Amino acid sequence: MHYFKIQNGILLYEGKDGQELREFEIKYDPERVKGLLQALSKLKKEIEIDSVPLRLDDYLNNWQCRYCNFDEICKIISNEPTDWKKAKEKIKLSPAFKEEKKEPKISEINKEPEDEIPF
């Protein structure tokens, strides 16, 4: 909406279980856009200096952490500034990671998805 200068939009959700649809009208919000662009700019700088982003301030209490696939990795890395190379070493050495992450079999890697999306 921001880059195309669109003032009104619709956010369309489809339920995973029953494919029911819900739509929400969205109005362009310049303050929200400003916050999002600042967060993206900060992330870009962290990528450029090879720095692992810090955890969210309310780590594990934030709703995003409840649905995040990286919560175990986040726990291992802790919340100190570090670069990606050190973070990867920390993950490799973590007993929790070694126990849970077994090498996948070649047949599992090459396996076709059973339910393909028809579009």
Residue from 26, 56, 76, 87 binding ligand SF4 (CB under 6 A): 56
Rule CB under 6 A: say whether 65 interacts with ligand SF4: yes
Residue in 35, 15, 31 with CA at minimum distance from that of residue 23: 15
Rule CB under 6 A: say whether 78 interacts with ligand SF4: no
Q: Which two tokens stand for residue 82?
A: 């570090």
Q: Which residue has the tokens 């921001």?
A: 2
Q: Are 26 and 10 in contact (CB under 8 A)?
A: yes
Among residues 26 and 59, whose Cβ is nearest to ligand SF4?
59
**Which residues bind to ligand SF4, rule: CB under 6 A?**
55-56, 59, 62, 64-65, 68, 70-71, 74
